[in-house]
Structure 1
């Protein structure tokens, strides 16, 4: 039986782009765009920089206490919220949209990594306190991304016609959705408990962000995780100076464009800034704000502001202004005493565009940490791999290439016609010499016939392999089945699957198991062998 955990470098998985690999390796092409090492961060230096920055801790604590009203919270969550008033308390943060039913498996990985890094920092720097925070991107309006969940090969979609920020949407139709999930999951020791939890979250809450807050608190509150919903007038008010500057002067467009122009020499740019990187947010819409002459207009809405009315709107209703991806991180780091941000490859790709923007507004840039990635391999899959004589790392590549190499390795026939290719090449080399001696114009004819002969050998080689595969039908089918199970839709498991198929059997112990295997500052892709 395999060891309970192994790993593979990110660059060898085939599922991560060069930017991620270079980020972890601190390659000279990318290193100037982030302040601290992602694997060995100098946390003392980071804490010192954050301590020197002004904070609005009272406002943050008040917003959190208001947000948690009516929720049953663990003693650890209560203590962590209270501790945020202390100037020696700092946060470790991850961010994610309120995908229905938490969306992808990596949602749990990000949160658990945040919890573990905060715990490790507490142990290392006992003079400080560190609070793990899940920052909910509830203002995201991408329902195509947020409104579905994938379970056991089935994509379960929330059919709603609502528009605007997903966090503000009403959870209509969730009775049927939860029933579909119940039937899809089947029986497990924790099935009933989980379905009851989903019903309480989505059927007894007014909107998706409240449902997500409840669900995340129930699942991770025992670890002391604090969930922050930034769609809050008190918190938005703290960001008014930056939002005003954005609307009046559009500095972010120029600053981030300068960075992306340099970055694009080596990498694909993740997010391009707009002239104004703010949306206007209502209960049913989230639309761009654009400058038109001396006024500001909200696209697709009958709303227009002068400089005076815009200032009035900022002061009276800051919650109606919503930062896009360019300003979101700056907002996060303005309202939180944060020292580290844990994000996936896409998030890291846009954060590295922002360092100079942070410097412009004199906001300390956090440590950027790549989220942990895992593949969980069940015992049945482990046994099949052993029978086939394969290592789990073999499955990261193209499945048909693996099938071909497996057949070639185990067949008694000679399927690779190297000697035949060599014989053909020698034969035609001799024919070229003869043709040249007879008539130089015949050389092209010989070359053409050579190409035809080589193609014929190639076709024969393909037919030999195809015929031999039939003798290994059971094994090749097993390889394809394993690939499909562990890499659904040829994607990483964590990017498709949801936590629930594991949770119904293991309950809270599932998260404990992941937490145990996490290394928050790892530069390796983890493989967990489960029972």
Structure 2
């Protein structure tokens, strides 16, 4: 009987860099840059560290209640928000920008992994409560990254010329955009329900962060997921001490660069700090703050401050200051009673730069956990693979290498000319000896002819393979089609596709299936065999 889930080591997929592999293996080169094992974390230790950190839970809960006041929420969400007042409650957090229509499939994996880990820890430590949190990176301004969705081979792009924090942008033009999504998705038992949900989310809210909050709450609220939008003056106020230090002393630049110097001996660095790692936010812009002498300027805006003016602005309007990637995690860990952060390879890479910075500000560093990765296969694709005598894991190979290997393994012709290469080498070895006897200067000519002969055999070998491939035309076409289907644009499915093509067919059961099959502390890539 076919297993619902199988696994392949990350290193054998060909899609993950060495940093991810070393991180999971706790390689000595990388281990000093994170506090807890990512696969067998000491949760007891991180809980105790967080208990010792002063937490303004009342401010967090008040901000969440205000954020949710216009939404219908499940009892699970309400109870989880209220439980955050309790000193025995901790959060498990994942973070992502408000990509339109949730963006990539891995967004769903991150959310569900957060939910699963919270449930697992509640069973393991019944004396505590654990709340799954989606921390929305709504202040990101990268519309090229956030403003499109890929469905069934089509990229649907939001054409807007708005600038600044994407979360604050108005969802103009979404009626047409949702029409394009509907056409791309086609028919499914849950298609109508999903399209209506998208309309309520994007046509019924004033900005992208509110639309995303509504959408994510509707999809995952039944599991008790709490969404946190940090673009909030109450929450930013908690971060004023660090932001003030950043503006006036600029410690993070020095501290993180020291870490980078050590880290870069073995791995490529993900993010480089600036002298000031804060942006200045307006409704339509998000611009860097730079210090020039005794003045702090906001780039590309006619805004500048003296030291006194800047301090006053920070105290009165903390929501106008936005941390970049270097300080974003610090804000998250200051606001939340958080013990674990679930992120992708890129996120883990920049968190590895931050441990010394956390130590400097005496903010407890969370357990870092790599998000789950999956390939979803369908019965039809698996049947075609079986007829070809291939396994799903074969598809992780480069397409042309896989095609060549398939032909070489199934042909009756001798396509690899090993014997011929050996015969040529022997012939030219003999010729070298003769050349030496006649005139030592002839050796160079023999070497040149040897190179030409070997190249000629290589060309013949290539022609033999090309000719033989034609005989296996339908099989090689099948391999290519399967690769395109399961690895769109030669990328991992989760980094390209959106959740909606699966959701229109299966509805909420799709999330239940994923939740059942994921392991929140896995160090393996998962292959889920769907019916």
Q: Equivalent residue for 1:59?
A: 59
Distance 2:323 2:440 in 1: 73
Q: Equivalent residue for 1:204?
A: 204
Secondary structure of 1:150 counterpart: strand
1:191 maps to 2:191: yes
Distance 1:179 1:253 in 2: 46
Runs of 4+ in 1 over 6 A off after TM superposition: none
Distance 2:351 2:2 in 1: 37
Could you list the per-position Cα deviations for residues 36-76 of structure 1 after superposition, in whole angstroms to 9, with x for gaps in the alignment?
A: 00000011111000000000000000000000011000000
Deviation at 1:314, TM superposition (A): 0.6
Secondary structure of 2:163 counterpart: coil
Distance 1:86 1:16 in 2: 39
8 Å contact from structure 1 (residues 344, 370) kept in 2: yes
Distance 2:154 2:319 in 1: 37
Q: Equivalent residue for 1:385?
A: 385
* Aligned counterparts, 1:36-435, within 5 A: 36-435=36-435
Could you list the per-position Cα deviations for residues 274-300 of structure 1 after superposition, in whole angstroms to 9, with x for gaps in the alignment?
A: 000000000000000000101100000
Distance 2:3 2:432 in 1: 59
Distance 2:358 2:439 in 1: 74
Q: Equivalent residue for 1:526?
A: 526
Secondary structure of 1:8 counterpart: strand
Deviation at 1:220, TM superposition (A): 0.1
Deviation at 1:501, TM superposition (A): 0.1
Could you tell me the TM-score, scaled by structure 2's length?
A: 1.00
Could you list the per-position Cα deviations for residues 114-143 of structure 1 after superposition, in whole angstroms to 9, with x for gaps in the alignment?
A: 000000000010000000000000000000
Deviation at 1:3, TM superposition (A): 1.7
Number of matched residues? 531
Deviation at 1:440, TM superposition (A): 1.0
1:443 maps to 2:443: yes
Distance 2:398 2:275 in 1: 42
Q: Equivalent residue for 2:500?
A: 500
Distance 1:446 1:260 in 2: 53
Secondary structure of 1:200 counterpart: helix
Distance 2:332 2:268 in 1: 25
8 Å contact from structure 1 (residues 2, 382) kept in 2: no
Secondary structure of 1:412 counterpart: coil
Secondary structure of 2:172 counterpart: coil
Q: RMSD of aligned C-alpha atoms?
A: 0.5
Distance 1:450 1:363 in 2: 67
Question: Gapped runs of 5+ residues in structure 2?
Answer: none
Distance 2:20 2:516 in 1: 24
Deviation at 1:187, TM superposition (A): 0.3
Secondary structure of 2:462 counterpart: helix
Q: Equivalent residue for 2:480?
A: 480
Distance 1:431 1:339 in 2: 72
8 Å contact from structure 1 (residues 10, 16) kept in 2: yes
* Aligned counterparts, 1:464-479, within 5 A: 464-479=464-479
Q: Equivalent residue for 1:512?
A: 512
Deviation at 1:2, TM superposition (A): 3.4
Distance 1:424 1:397 in 2: 32
Deviation at 1:442, TM superposition (A): 1.1
Could you list the per-position Cα deviations for residues 390-444 of structure 1 after superposition, in whole angstroms to 9, with x for gaps in the alignment?
A: 0111111100000000000000000000000000001111111111111111111
Deviation at 1:35, TM superposition (A): 0.2
Secondary structure of 1:46 counterpart: helix
Secondary structure of 2:189 counterpart: coil
Secondary structure of 2:131 counterpart: strand
Could you list the per-position Cα deviations for residues 215-237 of structure 1 after superposition, in whole angstroms to 9, with x for gaps in the alignment?
A: 00000000000000000000000
Distance 1:449 1:405 in 2: 30
Distance 1:473 1:237 in 2: 65
1:25 maps to 2:57: no
Deviation at 1:4, TM superposition (A): 1.1
Secondary structure of 1:339 counterpart: strand
Distance 1:90 1:410 in 2: 57
8 Å contact from structure 1 (residues 341, 368) kept in 2: yes
Deviation at 1:272, TM superposition (A): 0.2
Secondary structure of 1:130 counterpart: strand
Secondary structure of 1:90 counterpart: strand
Distance 2:446 2:311 in 1: 81
Distance 2:482 2:499 in 1: 19
8 Å contact from structure 1 (residues 340, 367) kept in 2: yes
Distance 2:120 2:264 in 1: 36
Question: Gapped runs of 5+ residues in structure 1?
Answer: none
Distance 1:261 1:388 in 2: 50
Deviation at 1:190, TM superposition (A): 0.2
Distance 2:252 2:432 in 1: 66
